[in-house]
Amino acid sequence: MRRLFLFTGFLLSSSLLTAQRTDLFSPDRKIQVTISATDEALTYAITRKGEVVLAESPLAFEFTQSAPIEKYLRIEKEERKTIDETWKPVVAKHSLIRNHCNELTLTLREKKYPCQAFRLIFRAYNDGVAFRFYFDKDEMKQNDLHIRYEKTTYHFPGDYQAWMANVRDYSTDNEEEYFPCLLSSITEKKLIAKPLVVKMHDSLYVALAESDVLDYPVSFVSPAEKTSGGILLHTKLAPLPGQNEYGIKASRTLPFATPWRVIMAGSRPGDLVESEIIMNLATPSQIKETSWIKPGICTWDNWWCCGVKMDTETNKKFIQLAADMGYPYQLIDWKWYGDFDCPEADITTPALSLDLQEVLRFAREKGVRCWLWLHYNDAIRQYEKAFPLYEQWGIAGVKIDFWRRQDQEMMRNYEKIAKKAAEHHLMLNFHSPCMNFGIERTYPNVMTREGVLGNEYYNWSTRITPEHNTTIPFTRMLMGPLDITPGGMLNRTPETFRNQHPTLVMNTRAAELAKFVVFFSPITTLADHPDHYINQAGVDFMKAVPADADEMKVLAGEIGEYIVMAKRKGEKWFLGALNNSDEREVEISCSFLPAGTFSLQMWADGPEANKDATRLSQSTIKITAKDRIKIHMARAGGWAAIATRK
């Protein structure tokens, strides 16, 4: 009997040496993460309410100068803590953000030579899971790491419907549709940008995202591998310039931490939209004094005609529009410094056709500040010289266009430009950029970015469909603000829409108003020409709606079908609803309101909006938090409202 007991004990201890497992729970204990280290693999798995979200998913790294980290690992140390703090962002979807999670830091060491060690940090939130690797010089026994592959995987237990943007290559500007398709459709030839949104069933939605991507390449998803238990998704990193798919993706001096890999989870798609997990994971603000960072709506001289007449009087006309609308900004777009993206381009010298100082004088007289457009290739060459000059001129911010790279070197340049811009009190708007990753917390002067198939495509394309407009709030917007440029006033039905100049938009007037609520962008760029706003229905809403918010809620919605959102600024609530191509009626609860009586001023699709998309119906009712509202939306329609306390 004694011999049997000793032998059993030996078997158990041997098993522990070859397979270790530890768990981490979210604060509400609905989400569980299980991390396992065996001689074969390091894996993690996630369940929510007892249901598998991700099955065992291997984690590994492959380097150029040393053996990969993936097998024969043991958990050497566990450190646990609870984080529960509330912080105030400079600009975000919520004026106060709670960062509440349980954190587990594992020190893992190789069992075999060279016995390198590293740390794996997991955080479990009520709305998702995040993890990152931390490499230390002493633990890794080297000063630098040259990463060939990050082998982070996501093992879904089935082949689910997902909404994904296939960007095709690493030089993407991230201007793609998020098409619904099965996970298994992700072939080797596809490159899927984050977020990837997955519907596991009617009450479980999951999104793959990332946060805190500093001095490291952007990650993509590809390809999908069928397993006996479901679909295994792999990670690809954008290579450094001059490197191919098999070359170096990142070179870092130790110590350093990788970006957070994020798995968001919610019972409805709106839960993903409301989540602040990406902001919570980002590095806190590196800008000490931020009172000069001010959100607002910006008039714009480019979209309406798909080209710019770059002269003094044209810019004055747009500045006058900003003043008339009560907006703080005007964007002077491309050609203001003449030829661009060429060696002779000079971002410190205005074009001969433009008296920039007279434009800026006129803007000051009207209480408007100006933004300047820059091509990335010109900006990176001259920004250190130009930014101090722009500060002297009183420029509010710069829009930098055509980044079109996702590699580590480019990510460093985002940070360099954000730092230098902050030194000279300049806000930033990035176009043709990488996707957001929480930099709006780290450098809050980064106000917004494109990286979205937005209203400019109405100029030459039919891709901005009502289905697209009701998909991107649940997909692209999960990553952060998006400069979609609302405000087109030449509204047409899908049947009568065509590409022309001046530019038309493929939705109703009410839907265009709703975009100011649904699409979050602390710098919102108004699309159309000043003449198109004269005596037009709905302009009163555009004058009233703010660009930022103190609180945002998704009241109802389904991906690609419709969305109803509410954003609070002070004591006022601004509501917006967008619809796809199917006429529908939606009923919403007013329970988001505090106690008391509110006046609800509404801008709705008019009775003839299915034929004449400019038709708008305005009315006002009294409501309380106990009421319910029925919203009727035309095809490609919408609805907007303002709730004001009586």
pLDDT in tens, 400-439: 999 999 999 999 999 999 999 999 999 999 999 999 999 9
From residue 587, alpha-carbon distances to 577, 582, 615, 628 in Å are 11, 16, 22, 7
Q: Which residues contact 576 (CB under 8 A, 6 or more apart)?
A: 513, 514, 515, 516, 517, 518, 564, 565, 566, 638, 639, 640, 641
- Least confidently predicted of 3-7, 20-24, 382-386, 445-449: 3-7
Give the separation between CA 15 and CA 486, rounded to whole angstroms. 60
The per-residue pLDDT for 229 is 86
Give the separation between CA 283 and CA 286, rounded to whole angstroms. 8
When pLDDT is averaged across residues 454-464 and rounded to a whole number, the result is 96
Q: Which of the two residues, 275 and 229, has the higher pLDDT score?
A: 275
The per-residue pLDDT for 67 is 84
Cβ atoms 435, 193 nearer than 8 A: yes
Q: What angle do CA 379, 384, 389 make, to 5 degrees?
A: 95
Cβ atoms 521, 324 nearer than 8 A: no
pLDDT of 515-538, one tens digit each? 999 999 999 999 999 999 999 999
pLDDT of 146-204, one tens digit each? 999 999 999 999 999 999 999 999 999 999 999 999 999 999 999 999 999 999 999 99
Give the separation between CA 51 and CA 28, rounded to whole angstroms. 15
Alpha helices by DSSP H, 121-214: 137-140
SS3 assignment, position 215:
coil
Cβ atoms 247, 68 nearer than 8 A: no
Cis preceding linkage at 502, omega within 30 = yes
Q: How many CB atoms lie within 10 A of CB 646?
A: 9
Instruction: Grade residue 445 by pLDDT with cuts at 50, 70 and 90.
Output: very high
Instruction: Grade residue 3 by pLDDT with cuts at 50, 70 and 90.
Output: very low
The per-residue pLDDT for 305 is 59
Cβ atoms 283, 96 nearer than 8 A: no
The per-residue pLDDT for 309 is 83
The per-residue pLDDT for 304 is 62
1 pLDDT higher than 80: no
6 pLDDT higher than 60: no
Closest to 560 in 3D by CA, of 77, 143, 177, 113: 177
Exposed e or buried b per residue across 560-592, where buried means at least 16 C-beta atoms within 10 angstroms of its C-beta: bbbbbbbbbbeebbbbbbbbbbeeeebebebee
The per-residue pLDDT for 16 is 42
From residue 283, alpha-carbon distances to 31, 184, 214, 260, 362 in Å are 24, 34, 9, 11, 39
54 pLDDT higher than 50: yes
Give percent of the chain above pLDDT 90.
95
The per-residue pLDDT for 302 is 82
The per-residue pLDDT for 18 is 62
Domains and CATH numbers, the chain: 19-281 (2.70.98.10), 289-450 (3.20.20.70), 452-520+528-646 (3.20.20.70)
Q: How many CB atoms lie within 10 A of CB 190?
A: 17
Closest to 92 in 3D by CA, of 298, 284, 370: 284
Cβ atoms 299, 325 nearer than 8 A: yes
**pTM of the entire predicted model:** 0.95
